[in-house]
């Protein structure tokens, strides 16, 4: 009685005793080195009231013959006393998975039968799959254990009729009474998939223990998805990742305000994919120290976290395929990011694709020091960042397919474009780069002389404040190289010279369509046209009243289709004197004066 009273006093007066992790360590038993568990004095594979009794017997001077001081010294302070009992009773690692009822309610597990206890583990009852437990009243606990084996759907999904908190060790669902010290999920792919999915009554999981340091593929995928009342997440101690291990773990946990620490430095494919996606109350991201990337490792991680205001440093210098793709997509409260946030110099395909897409409050951007690019590496990176006024420097002179595609699409506050020094282009490299940048008044110089298919396609589409186009010195073209380049630039008054005399398929396709302020077309010196080369080139250029086209062979397919529809009702068309194939109203605007050069 005196000892029990002392334990109670210690629990009340000293609740912050250091706790142990329940990790196995090696001790000697009968001259053999075996694995034992801190606190498991009777060595039955679990730490429970029987082991507390063993410590009490030792303190009272009547230890059992097998009593081991090293195992009993749970808090590692060099002595065995009541403080070690406190550690056992307080350490959440030693507790079965437990639900603490906030409201009166019932619980069930779909997909598996499981055992439960309503009396702190004294008696256990088997609960059939999809069957509700007895009523658990406010403040009461229900404990769970089993020897469940996962399928591709996990081990089942818990649901409740009332609000509750969760605590204790998840391993009790897999190893029954022998869960303490288990830290590996090896071979248990999908094990906790959707374990609490749609549990809108789950409030707090800060005392839930996920002790595994060796993870399995997709082990925690969607574990808490749609737990819309969850305010606090459990710690995630693992430092070695597995494929998809945390994918969508807290998807749509719209009440979650703080993220757990993520200490891993080496990642795996899609390991954090969508981890906090649509956590609309999350205001701060955790530190992300990882330096070894993997395919799509951070993809969609903070998608639509609309309350997130700052982004963490991302120290990796060598990236992986789509590693940051859509990481902060639609984080509409994100205002600033560290200037040195992205130090990588070795990029990978689509590595930054859509990373800050639709971050409408973002006003500053990180430096982008890489000079060696990868396919689609910056594709849509700042798409829809409507508050962005300044773009980062882009020093690379060697481009890759789609490397800057849609990079600043819809950045309606961007007034100045970065320099683009490359002279040799790649397919689609600048496609849609400044599409709908309605405040852009000045275009960068474009010195390239070696073009590629679709390289400038739609580059300045819808830049309604752009008044002057850059020079375009290339004389060797590629398919659709300038297609839609200045389409819908409604303030453009002057077009660049187009010196090329040898055309390619669709090279000027809709290049100036809907440029309603353009009055004079550039001279078109090519004598032989190519398929669709001028298709829709000046369509709906309502102020255009002068065209000089020296073509003598317009037999190519659709080469001038719709090219002058919607131009001024009167104007001058200058043609080669030897050309007799032009047709008024189809090739030459109706009502215009036709002149020979």
Q: Is 313 exposed, middle or buried (0-12, 13-18, 19+ CB in 10 A)?
A: middle
Q: How far is CA 550 from CA 50, 69, 306, 476, in A?
A: 99, 99, 56, 18
- Ranges 26-35, 117-126, 301-310, 471-480: which has the least confidence: 26-35
For residues 404 and 381, is the Cβ–Cβ distance under 8 A?
no
For residues 207 and 181, is the Cβ–Cβ distance under 8 A?
no
pLDDT confidence band for 57 (50 / 70 / 90)? confident
pLDDT of residue 459: 98
The candidate with the shortest Cα–Cα distance to 165, out of 121, 223, 249, 227, is: 227
Q: Which two tokens stand for residue 303?
A: 């998608």
69: CB partners within 8 A, 6+ apart: 80
pLDDT of residue 488: 98
Measured CA to CA, the distance from residue 487 to residue 515 in angstroms comes to 6
**Euclidean distance between the first and final Cα of the chain, in Å?**
115
The candidate with the shortest Cα–Cα distance to 480, out of 458, 453, 514, is: 453
pLDDT of residue 7: 41
Phi and psi at residue 74, in whole multiples of 5°? -65, -40
pLDDT digits (tens, 9 = 90+) for 402-458: 999 999 999 999 999 999 999 999 999 999 999 999 999 999 999 999 999 999 999
Q: How far is CA 255 from CA 48, 207, 248, 274, in A?
A: 35, 17, 15, 16
Classify residue 322 as left (phi > 0), alpha (psi -120 to 50) or beta. Answer: left
pLDDT digits (tens, 9 = 90+) for 353-387: 999 999 999 998 999 999 999 999 999 999 999 99
Work out the number of other CB atoms within 10 angstroms of the CB of residue 292: 14
11 pLDDT above the threshold of 50:
no
The candidate with the shortest Cα–Cα distance to 155, out of 99, 109, 91, is: 109
508: CB partners within 8 A, 6+ apart: 482, 483, 498, 533, 534, 537
3-state secondary structure of 402: coil
The candidate with the shortest Cα–Cα distance to 396, out of 436, 350, 429, is: 429
Is the pLDDT higher at 19 or at 101?
101
The candidate with the shortest Cα–Cα distance to 218, out of 252, 239, 193, is: 193
- Mean pLDDT calculated for residue range 280-300: 97
Classify residue 195 as left (phi > 0), alpha (psi -120 to 50) or beta. Answer: alpha
86 pLDDT above the threshold of 80:
no
pLDDT digits (tens, 9 = 90+) for 196-221: 999 999 999 999 999 999 999 999 99
Q: Give the total residue count for the chain.
A: 597
Measured CA to CA, the distance from residue 356 to residue 553 in angstroms comes to 48
Helices 49-59 and 82-90 pack at an angle, to 10 degrees, of: 170
Question: Average model confidence (pLDDT) for the chain?
Answer: 91
For residues 481 and 455, is the Cβ–Cβ distance under 8 A?
yes
For residues 128 and 114, is the Cβ–Cβ distance under 8 A?
no
User: Residue for token digits 């801190």?
Assistant: 38
For residues 224 and 233, is the Cβ–Cβ distance under 8 A?
yes
């Amino acid at each position: 009685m005196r000892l029990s009273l002392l334990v109670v006093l210690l629990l009340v007066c000293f609740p912050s005793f250091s706790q142990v992790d329940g990790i196995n360590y090696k001790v000697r038993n009968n001259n053999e080195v075996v694995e034992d568990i801190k606190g498991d004095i009777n060595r039955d594979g679990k730490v429970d009231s029987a082991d507390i009794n063993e410590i009490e017997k030792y303190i009272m001077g009547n230890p059992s013959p097998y009593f081991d001081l090293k195992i009993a010294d749970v808090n590692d302070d060099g002595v065995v006393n009541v403080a070690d009992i406190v550690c056992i009773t307080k350490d959440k690692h030693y507790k079965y998975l437990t639900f603490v009822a906030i409201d009166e309610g019932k619980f069930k597990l779909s997909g598996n039968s499981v055992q439960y206890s309503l009396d702190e583990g004294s008696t256990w009852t088997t609960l059939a799959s999809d069957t509700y437990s007895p009523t658990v009243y406010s403040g009461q606990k229900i404990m769970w254990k089993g020897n469940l084996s996962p399928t591709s759907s996990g081990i089942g999904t818990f649901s409740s009729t009332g609000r509750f908190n969760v605590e204790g060790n998840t391993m009790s669902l897999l190893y029954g009474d022998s869960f303490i010290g288990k830290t590996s999920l090896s071979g248990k792919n999908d094990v906790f998939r959707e374990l609490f999915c749609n549990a809108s009554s789950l409030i707090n999981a800060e005392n839930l223990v996920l002790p595994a340091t060796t993870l399995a593929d997709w082990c925690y995928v969607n574990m808490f998805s749609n737990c819309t009342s969850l305010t606090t997440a459990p710690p995630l101690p693992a430092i070695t990742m597995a494929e998809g291990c945390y994918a969508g773990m807290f998807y749509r946990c719209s009440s979650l305000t703080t993220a757990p620490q993520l200490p891993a430095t080496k990642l795996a494919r899609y390991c954090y994919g969508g981890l906090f996606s649509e956590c609309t109350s999350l205001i701060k991201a955790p530190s992300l120290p990882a330096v070894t990337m993997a395919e799509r490792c951070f993809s969609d991680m903070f998608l639509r976290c609309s309350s997130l205001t700052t982004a963490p440093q991302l120290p990796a210098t060598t990236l992986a395929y789509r590693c940051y793709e859509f990481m902060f997509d639609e984080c509409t409260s994100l205002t600033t990011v560290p200037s040195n946030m992205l130090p990588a110099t070795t990029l990978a395909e689509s590595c930054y694709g859509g990373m800050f897409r639709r971050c409408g409050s973002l006003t500053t951007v990180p430096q982008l020091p890489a000079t060696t690019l990868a396919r689609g590496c910056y594709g849509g990176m700042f798409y829809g960042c409507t508050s962005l006024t300044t773009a980062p420097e882009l020093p690379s002179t060697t481009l890759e397919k789609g490397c800057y595609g849609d990079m600043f699409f819809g950045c309606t506050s961007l007034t100045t474009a970065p320099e683009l020094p490359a002279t040799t282009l790649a397919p689609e490299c600048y496609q849609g780069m400044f599409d709908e940048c309605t405040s852009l008044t000045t275009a960068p110089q474009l010195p390239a002389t070696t073009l590629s298919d679709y390289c400038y396609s739609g580059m300045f589409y819808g830049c309604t404040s752009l008044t002057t186009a850059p020079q375009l010195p290339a004389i060797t073209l590629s398919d659709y190289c300038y297609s839609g380049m200045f389409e819908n630039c409604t303030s453009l008054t002057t077009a660049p010279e187009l010196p090329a005399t040898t055309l390619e398929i669709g090279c000027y396709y809709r290049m100036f369509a809907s440029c309603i302020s353009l009055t004079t077309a550039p001279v078109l010196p090519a004598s032989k046209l190519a398929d669709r080369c001028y298709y829709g080139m000046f369509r709906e250029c309502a102020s255009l009243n002068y065209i000089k086209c020296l073509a003598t062979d317009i037999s190519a397919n659709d080469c001038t289709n719709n090219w002058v529809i919607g131009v001024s009702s009167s104007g001058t068309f200058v043609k080669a004197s030897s050309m007799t194939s032009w047709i008024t109203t189809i090739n030459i605007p109706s009502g215009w004066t036709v002149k020979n050069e």
